Structure 1
Amino acid sequence: MSDQLEERPTTTHNQDTLSRLTDAHCHPNDAFQGNDVARAASQVGQLTIGKVCVMSSSLESQAKTEELFRLQPQKVVPAFGLHPWFTSSITLLDGAESGDQEFDKRAHYREILVKKHYPTSSIGRSDTQQEDERRRKDRMEIWEWIDCHLHLLPKPIRLENFLVGLRQRLMRFPTSVMGEIGLDKAFTFHIKPSPVIHPTRGSNEKDDGDQPVTEDRVIKSKYKVSIGHQLQILQKQIELAIELRRPISLHCVQAPTELLGLIDELIGRWGVRFTGLLSNHQTTEKKSKTGPAQMGSENPTLQADSERDKDTTQEQGINLCWHSPNISVEVLQQTLRKLPRTAYFSYSSELAILFDSRAPSNKAHPGLAQPQCDETAVLDNKRYSTRAVQAIRATPLDRLLLESDHGADPVLIDNKLQQIFHLVRVVKSPQSAGSSGLPSDDYSLDSHSDRLARQIEANWNRFYTGA
């Protein structure tokens, strides 16, 4: 049976199911090269799914997210924050924007660009003379590249100034969340200079005039933004989210060690305001005042839920959603142990479906796609990433969200949500080996889909409104 997705008209059942779902992480503000927010908003308004949580990424995209929300306030949940790919636009150096006509961009980019990521504990140190020499050569190579491209490098802004603007936006939109923020050790730094406009001959035979053509240029490098720089900016954004009590959509690629270390630091500094969990000292103090707690489940998540139900005055903590997590089951479980009440994970077809088995997109007929393959064979046909399937299987059902992570035509978001919903439905079915999914009583495909959609809907509401 074919692995390809066949376009099919939306059924009433599909509409009812999808209307319960929120796309927890997407980028319709980037559609059409970010130049036609009104068109993107029109397509968002036609989606079957309930809502879309629209992520900001660059400094410029914050305003586009705001505009999209104003055009579709019933459909859009706005998210504001700086993506790790754009942290190079923020400087941590003293003297930035001090009023000088020429800010020393050179010092900023020399400070943040590296040829490879070193463990944060070893930054500035090396163990051998050979390693010292290699780092020196790397540094000189980077500095030469910076000098050659200095006139094209954008002027950074101070972190303090960015945080002031971010705070103002979050407060101006009280229904907004923090995102997309995080860490990324895979991406390489690039420059996107101002577009070049060329006068060129019109392609329309009836038009004898010249049509200006805009050329978007990208100058790629082989260098990276240091993980230490990314960490400082991420920490400040998370602390702002804690202060304003906003949920977070988190990006983390190839940096789980650094992220888990930061989580430990935030737990130590913010405690219950971050985790929603009382410390051992606070728990002992509470028990001495209220008497012994009732025996509960050994599952820390269930225990936390029980404590929350008994004490509604307890701090809720800040919900954190790791979006499209390409991580091992061990890292997922470590995260849940550190944040047993507030950690969520959202999965996308962009990550789960292997690149060599994706169906070609059909923009001319962007209706909902129903995967045409045997339910029992879905996990055996090499269509899906094994790592993604294992992560979905290991994710507690009450911590699971869905996303498209889609940044092109918004009309395709329904299709992408249906694809990942289909995979989760199979992985979490009672018939799936090792499933931690829904109970198997009176199992049928329709009832399972409905119950799963209701569960994911409840998960989003809990994530969005507080732990």
Structure 2
Amino acid sequence: MVDFDSAKDDLPRSIWQLGIYDAHCHPTDNYKKLAKALDILDIAKLTVMATRLDDQVRVHDATVKHPDRIIPSFGYHPWFTHLLYTTTLPPESKYSHYRAVLVPEPPEQFLELLPEPVSLSSFIEILTENIERHKYALVGEIGIDRSFRLPNSGELISFEESDTGDDAGDSSEGVAGHSPSDAKRLSPYKVTLEHQIAVLLAQLCVAAKYQRPVSVHGVQAHGILYAIFSELWMGYSIPSRRQQKRETEEQRFVVCEVEDEAEHLASSDPPPFPPRICLHSYSGPPDQIRLWTSRKVPAAVYFSFSLVINSRYGEKLRQVLSAVPDDRLLVESDFHVAGKTMQALLAEIVKFICEVKGWELEQGVRILGKNWRRFVYGIDDFD
């Protein structure tokens, strides 16, 4: 598989016209470039992720201006969860808050660099408002990251209004401190797992209430994420064929005299989990895919892949792709600037997946497009 620097778009225009969709990207990090880039991009639609408090409005504005090209996703990324407090009342001070949610406990000199935290409840109000505004909005990017360390500067990671061209930037993951060259810029401080989970669960509640799909970030947390969702699925597992047959046979001998009441009970609140889940730039083991895609799982779980993140996994990536069911695959750029680099990244991952799956290019693009439409809209043929 090619690396980031070698990516190129050599797909025929006829292939792009079939509909290639970016399942996860961050072009509002360079908002001024977005409108101009959309005029030349062949990507059918961009699923644009919000990640922190200040970019929710950018994702909203971009969607309003370009409704035919953008599907919005609103959420709070685990890298920034330390900026939220989860208590009902505000903390005594920002120092007490950060000492409670960061490990190891930072010195006061570092804490002075950090801003005043904002309440999680106030963010959930913003999230809910945006979900209600946009009929097909997702919740994301949300999740758990056990490896991320805060920058020594205490600043947010952002590409806001970068002056670089769209070929000059690194990936959003790499610049955030996931490459060895960035090690000196990172502090030893991490957000506690408990705090990340609290913020994640609050957002999953919104996704469940409105039955919206979610885009989930998971680094060194694949087992934890599965455990979290399994807890939400409890009591909603789809019975096996044998169980369904047994239940059908038992029902033959049951006389139900309260059908109206039964129908009323069946039409209760929505289940406490999102209906569709995308594990973005999936980096977990191949054998865990069977857990997520078991027919007992009451949600549809998709796996998206990017050149930016997944190219580093070598042969393991081939094994993972082979293990993912054909109808649960998605492609993404995970890039922060709309433009030719984003398109090249998407083209390369499409070609690679088609190679691994043994698909003809046209066949693969049609499958991937159908998967994206089903993930976003919940139906097979909607565009």
Give TM-score scaled by structure 2 length: 0.78
Taking the aligned partners of 2:55 and 2:126, their CA distance within structure 1 comes to 13
Corresponding residue number in structure 2 for 1:449: 361
1:187 deviates by 0.5
1:84 deviates by 0.3
Taking the aligned partners of 2:197 and 2:190, their CA distance within structure 1 comes to 14
Corresponding residue number in structure 2 for 1:113: 102
CA deviation string 1:11-64 (max 9, x = no partner): 3433334xx111000010112xxxxx2421220232112100000011111111
1:179-218 mapped onto 2 (5 Å cutoff): 179-190=140-151, 191-192=154-155
Taking the aligned partners of 2:95 and 2:231, their CA distance within structure 1 comes to 32
Task: Please point out which of 387, 394, 403 is paired with 2:332.
Answer: 403
SS of the aligned residue for 1:24 comes to strand
1:194 deviates by 12
SS of the aligned residue for 1:182 comes to strand
Corresponding residue number in structure 1 for 2:222: 256
SS of the aligned residue for 2:90 comes to coil
SS of the aligned residue for 2:53 comes to coil
The residue type paired with residue 166 of structure 1 is L
Taking the aligned partners of 1:169 and 1:8, their CA distance within structure 2 comes to 34
Are residue 78 (structure 1) and residue 72 (structure 2) matched?
Answer: yes
For residues 45 and 466 of structure 1, do their structure 2 counterparts lie closer, same or farther at Cα, with a shift above 3 Å needed? same
Are residue 342 (structure 1) and residue 336 (structure 2) matched?
Answer: no
Contact 2:26/2:50, CA 8 A, preserved across alignment: yes
Structure with the greater relative contact order (CA < 8 A, sep ≥ 6): 1 or 2? 2
Contact 2:233/2:297, CA 8 A, preserved across alignment: no
Contact 1:324/1:348, CA 8 A, preserved across alignment: yes
SS of the aligned residue for 1:346 comes to strand
Are residue 156 (structure 1) and residue 117 (structure 2) matched?
Answer: yes
Taking the aligned partners of 1:194 and 1:250, their CA distance within structure 2 comes to 19
Corresponding residue number in structure 2 for 1:424: 353
1:138-177 mapped onto 2 (5 Å cutoff): 142-143=105-106, 145=107, 147-177=108-138
Are residue 64 (structure 1) and residue 58 (structure 2) matched?
Answer: yes
The residue type paired with residue 352 of structure 1 is N
Structure 1 unmatched runs, 5+: 32-36, 98-102, 116-141, 196-217, 293-314, 355-383, 430-437, 439-447
1:291 deviates by 6.2
The number of aligned residues is: 332
- Quick one: percent identity of the two aligned structures? 30
Taking the aligned partners of 1:220 and 1:105, their CA distance within structure 2 comes to 21
Corresponding residue number in structure 2 for 1:460: 372
1:158 deviates by 1.6
1:454 deviates by 1.0
Contact 2:73/2:138, CA 8 A, preserved across alignment: yes
Corresponding residue number in structure 1 for 2:20: 21
The residue type paired with residue 155 of structure 2 is K
Contact 1:152/1:193, CA 8 A, preserved across alignment: no
CA deviation string 1:358-393 (max 9, x = no partner): xxxxxxxxxxxxxxxxxxxxxxxxxx7112111111
The residue type paired with residue 24 of structure 1 is A
The residue type paired with residue 212 of structure 2 is R
1:7 deviates by 5.5
Corresponding residue number in structure 1 for 2:83: 89
1:329 deviates by 0.7
Corresponding residue number in structure 2 for 1:307: none
CA deviation string 1:319-362 (max 9, x = no partner): 000000111112222222263651100011112324xxxxxxxx
Contact 2:145/2:217, CA 8 A, preserved across alignment: yes
Taking the aligned partners of 1:453 and 1:177, their CA distance within structure 2 comes to 22
SS of the aligned residue for 1:333 comes to helix
